[in-house]
Amino acid sequence: MKVTRLAYACLLIALSTQASDESTTLYDRYYDDQLTEKEVAFLRFADHYLSDFIHWRDDYLTQFDAYHEQVLKKWGSAEYTHAGIDVSYSEDLNAKTRTDIENDTVIVAARGASKQAAIERLNALGKALNEMLAEDVYSEVKTALASAEPSISDITYDPTSQQADKQLIDEQTNAINRTFIEPDTPNNDSKLAEKLLAEDTRLQGRERKASLDKLHQSLASKQHAPNGYQATMTIKLKPGTLKKRALRYAPMAHKISQDNDISHALVMAIMHTESAFNPKARSPIPAFGLMQVVPTSAGRDVNRLLYNTDAPMSATKLYQPEFNTTAGTTYLKILDTRYLKSIDDPQSRLYCVIAAYNTGSGNVAKAFNTNGSMSIKSAAKIINEMSPDEVYEQLVTRLPYTETRNYLDKVTNRLPLYGGL
């Protein structure tokens, strides 16, 4: 089947007007009797070609949105693992932990209908606490909980969390779409199908934001506002946990980076920034493990290269340190030698690789192309006329996400920490 650009353009118009969020196939969501035979055939082709990915995406986002709603109703706001901060909730969502290894701090909180119920739940955290914390901090936290007095506060709805929740939806959309909007790829049938799905995911993000607005409006009302109390303890860990973790994974990272001709210091600095060397880390993007590999972008690219399969990577496997490090390091190599290879200066390319690991090469290109294009070839022409310092400055001021700007700064400044390991 050969799809014309006009047929594809017509379908994009259909996406903006005909979407039905009740369906899990592109055909059911966008079929209209005004579509041409070619457009209908293309929808069927896109569904067949991307069926596994569509099911993965819809199942994950449906489950996450339901989970997020329950967290908001219980706690009044939601925080998840991000930028080396590990946040975990108990299975019943009545307890949570926030581990900041960089600052040797763990916060443990439990909720209850009364102050006493919250304290009792906090004191009773046993097996649940073990499941929520990394093994190298569990014993220390458990001992501290037995001897410290918790602080008590009301649980109330936090209206400022609405904007953060919308930003999370944007980040999820960007991460899911990253592998489908690779710049400078030919517009064959498969690539047009992927672009169609990327637009569908963006529309789905808008639908999710509309549902989120309704949820926040409900929580802001007195009738549905979260209530109860939370008992909280802040525990200061003994210094050195982060360094111990780094030393544990340094030999493995050194071997894998050497096999891929990637800087060992870069791999370690990314581990540090992504997960604080916690192999159990999981963010809601979703990203998993030491190098916070996203199954649908980095994972899919690595699956294609190493395992000859065109599918999202297994989350279960990404919790395995060696598998995860291989996937993350291979993705760095793909960025360096394929997507960003047209950037001549090694230092400028390194800055772009670091940013692209977090946000995708298309968003890196947008930081340089004045027309907002995601074409790396166009961006490279501009980058190659700049000094590395100018490239760095452009990235930290014009990347589309504040998180990525901070990410580039953190990874770059942590590179010297691991040059000698």
Question: Taking the chain (421 residues) in consecutive chunks of 10 residues, what is each chunk's mean pLDDT?
Answer: 48 51 67 74 78 83 95 96 92 96 95 96 89 90 87 95 94 80 58 78 91 95 86 94 95 97 97 95 94 90 89 91 98 96 97 95 92 90 98 94 90 93 62
Phi, psi torsion values for 100, nearest 5 degrees: -115, 85
Domains of the chain: 5-60+161-220 (no CATH), 80-156+226-236 (no CATH), 241-418 (1.10.530.10)
Which sign, positive or negative, has the C-alpha torsion 53, 56, 62, 64?
Answer: negative
Residues in the chain: 421
Q: Say how many CA atoms lie within 13 Å of 361 toward its Cβ.
A: 32
The predicted structure's pLDDT at residue 160: 94
The predicted structure's pLDDT at residue 116: 96
Question: How far apart are the two ends of the chain, measured CA to CA in Å?
Answer: 54
In this prediction the pTM is 0.85
d(CA 275, CA 86): 7
Decide: 137 and 259 in contact? Cβ < 8 Å.
no
The predicted structure's pLDDT at residue 53: 80
